[in-house]
């Protein structure tokens, strides 16, 4: 997205107008543009609505990985990934209103299908949907 005042509000307005719920987001910026990553409840509808409104969009597969919501929970998972050579391209957290013992991270992994299979064999728990 263009790095200018109000552009994020334009995007959220399109999604709100379509009744699309944002579950998580991440923004990385440069001087000229920003990269907005969204997790929404209806990805196909969001993609269509944003394209129809003139935004440049792309869908990228990511995984939602549940981790222990306590000190060291993320570290334990990251050390396993390091040990098994799983490379994280980017990651952010998924906010949740519940107070469970788990948190969720959203990650784009190199060789994602293979990485997910390895993590499942190690007992990792993923969210779906």
pTM score, whole prediction? 0.78
Instruction: Using the predicted structure, report yes or no on whether residue 42 has a pLDDT greater than 70.
Output: yes
What is the spatial distance between Cα 14 and Cα 53, in angstroms, rounded to a whole number? 8
What is the spatial distance between Cα 105 and Cα 43, in angstroms, rounded to a whole number? 18
| CATH value of 63-127 in 3.40.109.10, 3.30.70.260, 3.40.50.300, 3.40.640.10 | 3.30.70.260
The Cα-based distances of 75 to 26, 70, 81, 97, 117 in angstroms read 21, 10, 10, 23, 20
The 10s digit of each residue's pLDDT in 64-115 is 998 888 889 889 999 999 999 999 999 988 766 566 788 888 999 999 999 9
Instruction: Spell out the domain ranges in the chain.
Output: 7-52, 63-127
The 10s digit of each residue's pLDDT in 26-41 is 888 777 788 899 999 9
């Amino acid at each position: 997205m263009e790095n200018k005042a109000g552009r994020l509000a334009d995007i959220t307005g399109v999604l709100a107008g379509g009744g699309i719920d944002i579950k998580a987001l991440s923004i990385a910026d440069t001087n000229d543009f920003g990269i907005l990553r969204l997790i929404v409840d209806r990805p196909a509808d969001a993609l269509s609505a944003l394209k129809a409104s003139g935004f440049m969009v792309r869908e990228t597969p990511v995984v939602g990985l549940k981790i222990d919501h306590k000190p060291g929970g993320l570290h334990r998972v990251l050390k396993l990934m390091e040990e098994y050579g799983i490379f994280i391209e980017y990651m952010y957290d998924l906010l949740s209103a519940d107070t469970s013992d788990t948190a969720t991270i959203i990650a784009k992994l190199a060789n994602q299908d293979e990485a997910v299979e390895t993590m499942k064999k190690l007992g990792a728990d993923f969210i779906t949907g």
